[in-house]
Amino acid sequence: MKLFYLIKKELIEIVRQKELLVLMFVGPVIQIIVLGYVISSDVRHVPVGVVDLSRGRTAARIIQRVRQSPLFDVRYESGRSEDYLHLLKKGEVKAVLVFRDAAERPRAPLHYPEVQILMDGVDSNTSMIAAGYFNGVVRDYILDDMKKLGRGLPLTARATFRFNPQLRSINYMGPGIVAILLTIITMFLTSASLVREKEQQTMDTLLISRLSPLEIYVGKALPTALIGMIDMLIGLLVVVLWFRIPFRGSIFYLFLACLVYLAAILSYALLISVLSSTSQQAMFFSWFSLVLFLLMSGFLTPVENIPPVLRLLADINPLRYLVRIIREIFLKGNGIAYFWKDLMALAAISLALVSLSLLRFKRFISK
C-alpha cells in the first residue's frame, strides 16, 4: 500500500509538470520522425563534378546514366583539364569523375575511355558507398554493351536480400531508434528523480519515514518504467505506421526484452542519482553515459568494428543487446530461440546493475 502511494506520488509529480509531459509523450514522436529521416545510411544525391576530356560517345552515355541516377547530382561539368583538387576543396562536389581517352587501346572491340574517380575522403563512409555506386553504373554500362555483342560474363553472383529486400536503411534504423528512445526517457527521468529529492530535502523526510530502502528504490523505478513502456509503444506505432517498417515478430518477446532492459537502465540511472549531488551532475552523467551507450551499441556502426581493447565495454553495454534483439524481432520475426543468448546477457547485466545500484543506495541511506 505504501508502495502504491509512493508510485502515485511520483506519477502526480511527473504529470503536474506540463512541459515535461509534452516532452515525454509528444517529444518521442517528433524525435522518431526526425531521426528516422536524418539517421539514414542511404547515400543519395551525392554532388559530383564531371570532366569529360575524351569527348567520346561512350563517355557521354555513361555521363548521361550518372545524370539520370537518383544517387548523383551533377553540379559541375567541364571539358578541359584543370585542378580537380580545388573543386573538392571548395566542397561543392564530393567526387569528380574524369573521363580520358584510353590512347593505348583505341581499336579494341569494346573501346572505353579511362575513368578516374576523385573522391572527397573526409566522409569516408559516404565516399566508399558513392564510389561503389559509380562503379556499378560503369559495370552495368559495360554489361549492356557485352549483351549487345552477344557476350556475357562467365559467372555472376546474384544477391537476394531477405528481411529488407528494398534495402531501406530506415528498416534497420527505425527499431534501433525505439531502443534509443526508451533509454533517453527512462535514464533522464530516473537519474533526476532521487537528486530532486535530495535537493528539496524531501529525501530526509523519506528516509526517516517508515519506508524501506527497497520500497523507495522500487517506488522511484516503477513509474519511470511505466512511462518508458508507454513511450516505447508510441515509438513502435510511429515506426510501423509512419515509416511502414514491417513488424514480423512477437510483441510479447519485445516487451519481455524491454522489461529486462529497463531493469538494467533504471538501476544504472538510480546509481547516477545516488552518486550525484545536484541535478546538473546527474544530467552530465546521463549525457556522458548515453553517448557511450549509443556509440557502442551497434546502432550506428557494427560492434565488430570496435577495437578488441574496447570490446569489453560494448559487451557490458545493455543497449547493444536490446538493439540487436529488437532488430531480430522486428525485421526477421525471430523467436526467443534466435536471441536467447542476447536476452540472457542482458538479464545478467541487469542483475549485476540492480545489485550494485541497490547496494550503493543502501549505503547512501545508512551514511
Partner 1 sequence: MVRLERVSKSFAGIRAVDDVSLHIQRSAITILTGADGAGKSTLFKMLVGLVKKDSGAILLNGKDIGGDYSLITSVCGYMPERFSLYTDLSVEENLDFFAAVQRVPARRREDLKKRLLERTGMEPFRRRRAGALSGGMKQKLALSTILLSSPELIILDEPTTGVDPLSRIEFFAIIEELKREGRTIVMSTPYLDEAEKGDNIVMVKDGRVLRQDSIARLREAFPARLFRILPRGNVFEVMRGIAADPELAGRTHMRGRHIHYLQDGPANLGLRIPHREMVEEKPTLEDMYIYYERHP
Closest CA to 234 of 70, 23, 61: 23
C-alpha to C-alpha distance for 116 and 131, rounded to whole angstroms: 11
- C-beta closer to partner 1: residue 101 or 215: 215
Please report, as residue ranges, which positions from 88 to 127 form the binding site for partner 1 (by CB under 8 A). none
Contact 261, 321 (CB under 8 A): yes
Contact 365, 198 (CB under 8 A): no
The grid cell for 297 is: 551499441
Using a 10 angstrom Cβ sphere, with 0-12 exposed, 13-18 middle and 19 or more buried, the burial of residue 1 is exposed
| Residue 205 lies near partner 1 (rule: CB under 8 A) | yes
C-alpha to C-alpha distance for 170 and 160, rounded to whole angstroms: 19
| Residue 19 lies near partner 1 (rule: CB under 8 A) | no
Residue window 162-201: x/- pattern of binding to partner 1, with contact defined by CB under 8 A: --------------------------------------xx
C-alpha to C-alpha distance for 24 and 268, rounded to whole angstroms: 20
The grid cell for 237 is: 506505432
| Residue 277 lies near partner 1 (rule: CB under 8 A) | no
- C-beta closer to partner 1: residue 116 or 278: 278
Residue window 288-327: x/- pattern of binding to partner 1, with contact defined by CB under 8 A: ----------------------------------------
C-alpha to C-alpha distance for 59 and 186, rounded to whole angstroms: 56
Contact 206, 216 (CB under 8 A): yes
**At closest approach, how far in Å is the CB of 182 from partner 1?**
25
- C-beta closer to partner 1: residue 22 or 153: 22
Out of 23, 131, 211, 233, which residue is the one contacting partner 1 (CB under 8 A)? 211
Out of 88, 138, 207, 363, which residue is the one contacting partner 1 (CB under 8 A)? 207
| Residue 255 lies near partner 1 (rule: CB under 8 A) | no
φ and ψ of 341, to 5 deg: -65, -40
- C-beta closer to partner 1: residue 16 or 80: 16
- C-beta closer to partner 1: residue 135 or 200: 200
Residues binding partner 1: number (CB under 8 A): 23
The grid cell for 193 is: 528523480
| Residue 16 lies near partner 1 (rule: CB under 8 A) | yes
- C-beta closer to partner 1: residue 114 or 215: 215
Out of 107, 158, 162, 367, which residue is the one contacting partner 1 (CB under 8 A)? 367
**At closest approach, how far in Å is the CB of 207 from partner 1?**
6
Contacts of 362 (CB under 8 A, 6+ apart): 213
Contacts of 24 (CB under 8 A, 6+ apart): 14, 185, 189, 227, 231
The grid cell for 16 is: 503536474
**At closest approach, how far in Å is the CB of 20 from partner 1?**
10
Out of 202, 277, 280, 355, which residue is the one contacting partner 1 (CB under 8 A)? 202
| Residue 9 lies near partner 1 (rule: CB under 8 A) | yes
DSSP 44-83: --EEEEEEESS--HHHHHHHHHHHH-TTEEEEEEESS---
| Residue 278 lies near partner 1 (rule: CB under 8 A) | no
Contact 46, 71 (CB under 8 A): yes
| Residue 37 lies near partner 1 (rule: CB under 8 A) | no
**At closest approach, how far in Å is the CB of 338 from partner 1?**
45
CA atoms within 13 A on the CB side of 241: 7
Q: Is the dihedral of CA 53, 59, 60, 65 positive or negative?
A: negative
- C-beta closer to partner 1: residue 28 or 219: 219
| Residue 81 lies near partner 1 (rule: CB under 8 A) | no
| Residue 12 lies near partner 1 (rule: CB under 8 A) | yes
**At closest approach, how far in Å is the CB of 269 from partner 1?**
20
| Residue 204 lies near partner 1 (rule: CB under 8 A) | yes
C-alpha to C-alpha distance for 321 and 344, rounded to whole angstroms: 10
| Interaction site with partner 1 (CB under 8 A) | 1-2, 4-6, 8-9, 12-13, 16-17, 200-202, 204-211, 367
